[in-house]
Structure 1
Amino acid sequence: MRRTIAPARMRSGNNPSRFKIGHDMINRRAFLNSGLACALAATTMPLLGRAARASGSDMRLFWFGSPGRAERTLAVAKLFEAANPGTTVLGEVGGNDYWSKLTTMLAGGNAPDIFQLEPGRFADYAGRGAMLPLDDYLGKTIRTDRLLPGALELGTVKGKVAGMPLSNNAFALLYDTVAFQQAGLTPPGRDTTWDDFARLCTDMTKAIGKKGVWAVGNAARYSYAFEAFLLQRGKKLYREDGQIGFDAKDATDWYGYWESLAKKGGCVPADVQAQDKIQIDSNPMSRGNAVMAIAFSNMLVGYQALQKNPVGITTLPVAEKGGASGLFYRAGLHFGIAKNSPDPERAARFLDFFVNDLAAGQILGVERGVPINLDVRAAIAPALDETQKRSFDYVEGIADVVGPFPAQVPVGASELEDRVYRTVADRMAFGQITPTEAGEELVSQANAILKG
């Protein structure tokens, strides 16, 4: 059976020693050693113009992520094909242009049967009617009896299950354990406040004493880090009515914190942070410009793959010791079925297989997060490698400090992610506006978009 993964082009024209999948460049040696080459060996040709050639036996799958995620996803697709003779899974990995490509495909009526979404955008796409509600398939085609209690709530928008949560994860702080040992500093932990963290970052940069290396990236542009900061204050990123749950003072305090840290040398400067495309491989830690990263728990696997030293994982800093953690269990990622999928029943069978099949779960591990199927979770736990176990244990270990899942993101949140959060933070980092102006601008633009 033919399995196809669709690159924009299979080889970079000017560098035959590198392959291109979507827009993620992979070193050829790492590519071959990863085993992904074996998964691609059956490829007959790039899937360009695939909609015109797709047959009734084809099912299109679109996702984003690391080469390791591609390898795991394709391996599960192969198992699904074996269990469903006559079906061919056409897989495509998106890069930094994933969201623009997905939006274009949806607008043109050319959406993949199944596509991947992340929690910060999931409800926005659902609210725009991009996905087929799964309610009619739940408990039938898609087994739900062994799912983590409440898991389906993470995929529910306006009373309908719009997509299938694939896992759960939480905000996390990742750090280079050896860097802290060499610096003689204690890594951050549960009781580390934001003030403690600022002092630690400044001390760490000084201890490193290496040009082009700082303690951490500038997280002013990360809406998820801002969300934790807000929850610790008793505020929200978004309210139940779809409007923002913070004011200009909250945003100004957030921006002011990172501006102060940057001036003290505790985080990377604007030109370094601007290179981060909100992908693991473009984060300052992955590029060697920082020894810590504010990320998500499942990303530990991807970060560790790019680091020579063991990567530790802990909670985000808190407003005050013993106060709210700002953490909650969230869907690691979602799969949605396109509203115009020609065979939604088959797509639903794939979602069931991806989430509930034990063999599929063993292949997927915790790269997308901890499985939501309790049997799969128990089955994979003993076989996890050291890195995966750290990610798994972190999610299990914060059960006593996580809060309730906040309101789903509203329609318009994707536009905020693409045009506002990072843009405003970057303008401030480059000195074009002050923290106060940044806070006012964030609130003004957010209100305009969400009320538009």
Structure 2
Amino acid sequence: MRRTLAAISVCALLGSLTACGGDEPEAGGPVTLRMTTWSANPAHVELFNSIAAEYSKTKPDVSVTFEALPLENYTTTVTTQIAGGNAPDIAWILEGAAPDFVASGALTPLDDSIENTADLAPAATALWKKDGKLMGYPFSTSPFGVFVNNDLLKQAGQTLPAGADWTWANAVAAASATAAKTGKQGLVIRDFDYKEWSNLATVFRGWGADAWTADGKTCGFDQQPMVDAMTFLHKAIFTDKALPAPGVAADFFAGESAMTIAQISRASLLKEAKFGWTLVPLPAGPSGEYSVIGQGGLGVMKKGKNAAAAAEFVKFFTSPDNSTKLAQFFPPPRQSQLNADTLAKANPLLKPEQLQDVVIDGIATGVVKPSHTGSAEISQAVRSALDPMWKPDADIPGVLRGVCTAIQPLLAK
């Protein structure tokens, strides 16, 4: 598996783009653009399609289709398409893969395709630039928060800790007690499922832990902050029963857990919720308050068959007007729109104070989830090396040393 991912990465992203399959010149006549996304959420799809339909009113010869791919294998699928000569015209790029795409030469610069680039927050665009040029547009810059099922907590006789009491220790205690008394689950780290390890950054950053150093060259899994964070998480899973055990599924949005860590794009799933809920920032950890951001960027593929037409659509898709619409699910990188009033208009399910506390303040202080060149191979290596962690008698420091043994050669490339 690692060999396959490495071959795809080298061929499709890091070197011989021409050798991986040629693109065809754009021809006259109708154009159908294909954009890959990882979300099949009906509300997201409806919004994307409405923007595409509006675009077609002024560009009747251009239509846009959105191809939703499974999140777990999303980046691998996109890079396989590129390597096979079937590159999408536009791709939603996850933050973990951004360094590969940005550095590879696979993307078309977007500086001339984005309106008012001066309005883009420097912190939001940092991951998406190469030699001063904007290679991807971070249309979603979304901090993680905790959605809470108030009814389940009340049923269990629990009160949501607030203010200085909103810490990881107290959050896990409330989740554990609620799970024990209701028969539901406690806290779910959305989209982790013991596979997507990078989502654990929403926990371990509370201990000041990092997957690797800022320069990307040295593994951080064997350092004491990570050991402490993973020891806490392991106890929460196997002793406190505050998180679902491996192999146990629970959907907060269906009322199956007391809490979940997720982004505001998930709030639409609560439109018809039959329980009371709230949204709060991530709990404070031993290193204090913190925020973790997930980003999604739009990239126009050089190897797509309609690169020029794709860039024109991206200009429309990311316009200030459409950015306001997208803010319903995807917090924009536009500084003029990062205020509670603007976001509240697009997010009627969320209160202005929730948007301020979780989104606006989170963007101001947060760090982006782990990302690195060679992300596919590194992520697979981390996932495999962490597998022994997910059993009751795990040697936690030993497992984490094993992670570093597995990835240090990859980080040093």
Same fold judged by TM-score > 0.5? Answer: yes
The yes-or-no answer on 1:109 pairing with 2:85 is yes
Partner Cα separation in structure 1 for residue 256 and residue 175 of structure 2: 13
**Counterpart pick for 1:416 among 375, 378, 381:** 378
1:405: how far off? 4.2
TM-score, normalised relative to structure 2: 0.79
The residue correspondences of 1:360-371 to structure 2 (distance < 5 A) are 360-361=322-323, 363-370=325-332
Q: Distance in 2 between matches of 1:324 and 1:122?
A: 28
Equivalent runs, 1:297-376 vs 2, <5 Å: 297-302=264-269, 304-305=270-271, 307-320=273-286, 323-327=287-291, 330=293, 332-358=295-321, 360-361=322-323, 363-370=325-332, 372=334, 374=336
SS of the equivalent of 2:365 reads: coil
1:82 aligns with 2:57: yes
The answer to whether the 8 A contact 2:207-2:226 is kept is: no
Deviation at 1:189, TM superposition (A): 4.1
Q: Retained in 2: the 8 A contact 1:238–1:244? A: yes
**Once superposed, which parts of structure 1, at least 4 consecutive aligned residues long, lie more than 6 Å away?**
none
CA RMSD, Structure 1 to Structure 2 (Å): 3.3
For each residue in 1:54-102, what CA deviation from the matched residue of structure 2 results, as whole angstroms up to 9, or x when unmatched?
A: 9752222111211221111111111111122311213212224433321
Aligned CA distance change for structure 1 residues 287 and 269 (closer, same or farther; 3 Å) = farther
C-alpha change, 1:243 and 1:308, in structure 2 (3 Å) is: farther
* Deviation (angstroms), 1:234: 4.1
- Normalising by structure 1, what TM-score? 0.72
Any stretches of 5+ residues in structure 1 without a counterpart?
1-50, 274-282
Output the amino acid matched with 1:355.
Answer: T
Alignment of 1:135-154 (within 5 A): 135=111, 137=112, 142-148=115-121, 150-154=123-127
Given the alignment, which residue of 179, 182, 186 partners 1:215?
186
- Whole-Å Cα distance in 2 between the matches of residues 130 and 152 of structure 1? 18
1:429: which partner in 2? 390
- 1: distance between equivalents of 2:370 and 2:244? 31
Aligned to 2:17: none
Is 1:124–1:413's contact at 8 Å kept on the other side of the alignment?
A: yes
**1:109-151 residue CA offsets vs partner (Å, 9 max, x unmatched):** 211110101222222332333322324x25xx54324434544
User: Which among 116, 134, 143 is matched to residue 110 of structure 2?
Assistant: 134
Out of 59-68 and 152-161, give the one that drifted further: 152-161
The one-letter amino acid of 2:288's match is A
1:292 maps to 2:259: yes
Partners of 1:425 and 1:269 lie apart in 2 by 15
> Secondary structure at the residue paired with 2:211?
strand
Query: Following TM superposition, by how much is the alpha carbon of 1:228 offset from its aligned partner in structure 2, in angstroms?
Result: 4.5
Per the TM alignment, residue 106 of structure 1 is displaced from its structure 2 partner at its CA by: 1.3
Match of 2:152 among 179, 184, 198: 179
Instruction: Give 1:394 shift.
Output: 3.9
Question: Which residue matches 2:402?
Answer: 441
Distance 1:196 1:392, change over 3 A: closer
CA distance in 1, matches of 2:136, 2:354: 24
Decide whether aligned partners of structure 1 residues 407 and 383 sit closer, same or farther in structure 2, where only a CA change above 3 A counts: closer
User: Alpha-carbon deviations, 1:412-434, whole Å to 9, x = none?
Assistant: 223333x2444444432245843
For residues 390 and 346 of structure 1, the distance between their equivalents in structure 2, rounded to whole angstroms, comes to 40
Change (3 A) 1:244 1:406: farther
Alignment partners' CA distance in 1, 2:195 and 2:291: 18
Q: Which has the higher helix share?
A: 2
Letter in 2 for 1:187: L
1:251 paired residue among 226, 242, 249: 226
User: 1:242 — aligned with what?
Assistant: 216
Residue 94 of structure 1 pairs with residue 97 of structure 2: no
After superposition, give the CA deviation of every residue in 1:367-425 in whole Å (9 maximum; x if it has no partner).
123463625976664354224867634445526x95364697221223333x2444444
Q: Aligned pair count?
A: 379
CA 1:357–1:196 in 2, change beyond 3 Å: closer, same or farther?
Answer: closer
Q: Point out which structure has higher relative CO (alpha carbons under 8 A, 6+ apart).
A: 2
Write out per-residue CA displacement over residues 139-177 of structure 1, whole angstroms, 9 at most, x where no aligned residue: xx5432443454432422464422001032212112212
Indicate how the Cα distance of structure 1 residues 86 and 376 shifts in structure 2: closer, same or farther if over 3 A, else same.
Answer: farther
Counterpart-to-counterpart distance in 2, 1:432 and 1:235? 23
Flag the 1:365–1:194 CA change in 2: closer, same or farther, 3 A. closer
Distance 1:100 1:351 in 2: 23
Cα deviation code 1:3-34 (max 9, x no counterpart): xxxxxxxxxxxxxxxxxxxxxxxxxxxxxxxx
